[in-house]
Amino acid sequence: MIVLGIETSCDETGIAIYDNQRGLLAHELYSQVKLHTDYGGVVPELASRDHVRKIVPLVERTLQSAGLDKQGIDGIAYTRGPGLIGALLVGSSMARALAYAWKKPMIGVHHMEGHLLAPMLDNNPPSFPFVALLVSGGHSMLVDVKGIGEYRVLGESVDDAAGEAFDKTAKLLGLDYPGGPLLSKLAEEGETGHYQFPRPMTDRPGLDFSFSGLKTFAANTIRSCDGAHQTHANIALAFEEAIVDTLLIKCKRALKQTAYKRLVLAGGVAANKRLRASFENATKSGAFEVFYPSLAYCTDNGAMIAYAGCQRLVAGQRTEISATSLPRWPLENLSPLKNV
């Protein structure tokens, strides 16, 4: 089955075509980053309007690069939620229009399920069950994944998401939005040992996270520092080390609790080099294996939506054309998919 995937939950228009026989056939992305940089964050109304402008040409370009026309598409997958309502509506309108006009089945995909299954697009996909660490701009979660649609949230952030903490701290360091990758780049110039950031909520049991304290700690540290470039790099490094350490401690705990041997890192923050290196290093103990999507599929993209939608369409699931978008949608409410 060949599925066209549409992602518009936030500030990226992502379109892709996935074939369950041949894999990913095409993948196009338009990022609105430049549009929102001046505002230091995503402006929802501007995001919706830009999706409207970009989505049709992007669908056309994706079909062209896969060498397909509408007859070649067997189903449509789109991000139904969670996300910004205006942005979601653009993707759902496109999906509904195509499904209606082309007379093809349609499936609404959960954005975080897309992130969670993104490593499946890789050559060496993890098998079930596994623990997933979902760390993105809006979420930080540990999930017990028994199969597609069989998710139990083991822990989540009680305040800021990991990506949000990166972005807010980056802003305090004078970096542009989204600051996560820029902070990480600055941290490469940092020297260790100058600053010690806390590892929030690691001194008590449980799998929840809290990152807003780290941001406050960073704010105080930055305010009282000399403002030199090297000092900022040292702070960026200490902050990044604290986040990565905290995530690793919680992941090890989740693996122990579930007795699983596989860990999946997904979402935008999984693109972080130090995070990947530190988790790779931890696997040397032999206690677990780590999997993560290739860089292009960590942040928002259409490929993960096409993949997740294809699995559900192949299993016979459908979303009615009258279905509404879901800006909030608990991951645990998804239906399991046993027959794939």
CA distance 141 to 221: 27
Q: List the x/- string, 284-303, binding to Mg ion by CB under 5 A.
A: ----------------x---
Q: List the x/- string, 114-153, binding to ligand ATP by CB under 6 A.
A: -x--------------------xxxx--------------
Instruction: Check residue 7 for interaction with Mg ion (CB under 5 A).
Output: no
Select the residue interacting with ligand ATP from 5, 14, 267, 309 (CB under 6 A).
267
Instruction: Check residue 268 for interaction with ligand ATP (CB under 6 A).
Output: yes
Select the residue interacting with Fe ion from 300, 304, 311, 326 (CB under 5 A).
300
Select the residue interacting with Mg ion from 4, 6, 11, 292 (CB under 5 A).
11
> Is 111 known to sit in a ligand binding site?
yes
Q: Binding segment for ligand ATP among 162-170, 187-195, 205-213, 307-315 (CB under 6 A)?
A: 162-170
Select the residue interacting with Fe ion from 79, 92, 136, 258 (CB under 5 A).
136
Select the residue interacting with ligand ATP from 5, 81, 86, 180 (CB under 6 A).
180
Instruction: Check residue 81 for interaction with ligand ATP (CB under 6 A).
Output: no
> Is 138 known to sit in a ligand binding site?
yes
Instruction: Check residue 160 for interaction with ligand ATP (CB under 6 A).
Output: no
Smallest gap, in angstroms, from Cβ of residue 239 to ligand ATP? Answer: 10
Known binding-site residues for Fe cation equal 111, 115, 300
Known binding-site residues for substrate equal 134-138, 167, 180, 272
Residues that bind Fe ion (CB under 5 A): 136, 300
Residues that bind Mg ion (CB under 5 A): 10-12, 300
